[in-house]
Structure 1
Amino acid sequence: MKLTILVCTLVLLSLSVISVMGQGWKLTPPREAKCSARSELGICNKILKPVCGDDGKTYGTECLLCYDNKRYKKNVGIVQQGECPGITKQFKSF
C-alpha cells in the first residue's frame, strides 16, 4: 500500500514538472534589462527583436521594455529572447 502511494506521488510530481516546463516557464531568474538614457526616453531602434518580460508580456525590443519600465515606474526583467509563450502577447508600438 505504501509503495503504491509513493509511486502515485512520484508520477504526479513528474507530471506537474513536465506540465510547467511545457508551458514555457523558466526555472532561471529573469535578467535585468540593459537600459540607456535614450531607451528610457523611448528613442528606440525600429527593428523588432522581441523579448519576453517577467510580467508575461512580449515587448518589441529590449529598449521598449526599458521605456515601459521608466514610464510606468516598473521593474520588469527579461525572461527570454523572443516572444513569450502562450496567448498573452503585447507588442509595444513605436
Structure 2
Amino acid sequence: MRRSGFPPPPALLLLWWFVAGLLLMPPSGEGLSEPRCDLYSLPGCPRNFNPVCGTDGETYANECMLCAANREHEKSVQIAYKTSCS
C-alpha cells in the first residue's frame, strides 16, 4: 500500500538535499580566493585586461592591479570572482 502525503519517504528527502546542494554551489572558478601578489613585481603591473572582482565590490583590470591597490591602501581585498563585478 502506497502512502500519499507527508512526511515524504527518506529517499526523496535525500534526493532533494542533493539537488539543492548542487544548485547552491558557486560556478567553477568562482568564490573567494587570495590574490597571488607574489607573482608580480610591484609597483608596476602588466596592462592586460583580465578583470577580477574584489571583495570590496570594485572591478580591477587584473589581479596585479588588485594587489597594487591592496598595497597602496594597506587593505587585504580578496578576489570574489575572476570576472568583472556586476
Per the normalisation by structure 2, the TM-score is 0.60
Percent of aligned pairs with the same residue? 34
Amino acid at match of 1:35: C
- Residue ranges of structure 1 left out of the alignment (5+ in a row): 1-20, 86-94
- Is 1:58 aligned with 2:55? no
Could you say what secondary structure the match of 1:30 adopts? strand
- Is 1:44 aligned with 2:48? no
User: Where does structure 1 differ by over 2 angstroms across 4 or more consecutive aligned residues?
Assistant: none
Greater strand proportion: 2
- Give distance in 2, aligned partners of 1:74 and 1:30: 16
C-alpha RMSD of the superposition: 2.0
Match of 1:80 in 2: 81
- Residue ranges of structure 2 left out of the alignment (5+ in a row): 1-23
Q: Is the 8 A contact 2:51 2:82 kept in 1?
A: yes
How many residue pairs are counted as aligned between the two chains?
58
